[in-house]
Amino acid sequence: MAVNTGKGSTEKNEKVKMVMREMIRSLILEMLEGERDEVLGYEKYDLEKSSKSKTARNGYFSKVVKSSYGDIEILIPRDRLGIYKPILIKKYKKNISDFDNKLLVLFSKKKTEEDIIECLKGLYQDRFTDTQLNRIKDRMTKVIHKWRK
């Protein structure tokens, strides 16, 4: 039996890689947003807490990172005073292939919220408390459920 390695096969592989990149990108954005919320001490649109904060959200900057599935453009959140420093994708980090597959595994229907927490603990080490990790997990869960549909 011959294996099809023609043009159609290559196009299909590229489409699969494109979907994988988008899944990774969307999950990383939520994780970074969660990081920023925890560092700033308030969520987006929490006017009461944001008015008492020393800094405010200040949009995003774009960064291209290399993954196991090709280059991915990531939007990195920032704040006005530069208090928030990304933890997951540090300032000079250009390659995320060391953890991108760990994130993709979370999209499996067999993975539970406990599995997501364990993944976060592995990625963040001791940077956040269990409560903070749970809030980041909640953001991730929304993205994961959206992709599972």
2 located within any domain? no
Q: Where are the alpha helices (DSSP H) in the chain?
A: 7-40, 47-52, 100-105, 113-124, 130-148
Q: Determine, yes or no, domain membership for 3.
A: no
How far apart CA 113 and CA 147 sit, in angstroms, is 15
| Residue 83 counted as domain residue | yes
pLDDT of residue 18: 95
pLDDT of residue 100: 92
Burial 91-101 (b: 16+ CB within 10 A, else e): eeeeebeebbe
pTM of the model: 0.85
Cα–Cα dist 75/32, whole Å: 9
pLDDT for 16 = 93
Q: Nearest CA to 106 among 95, 118, 98, 94?
A: 118
Q: How many domains does the chain have?
A: 1
- Per-residue tens of pLDDT for the chain, all 149 residues: 455 556 678 888 999 999 999 999 999 999 999 999 998 887 776 666 666 777 778 899 999 999 999 999 999 999 989 999 999 999 899 999 999 999 999 988 888 999 999 999 999 988 899 999 999 999 999 999 998 88
At residue 61, what are phi and psi to the nearest 5 degrees? Answer: -125, 155
The amino acid present at 71, given as its one-letter code, is D
Q: What end-to-end distance do the CA atoms of the chain give, in Å?
A: 35
Beta bridge partners of 64: 73
Domain interval for residue 61: 8-148
Q: How many residues does the chain have?
A: 149
- Residue 49 counted as domain residue: yes
The answer to whether position 48 is within a domain reads: yes
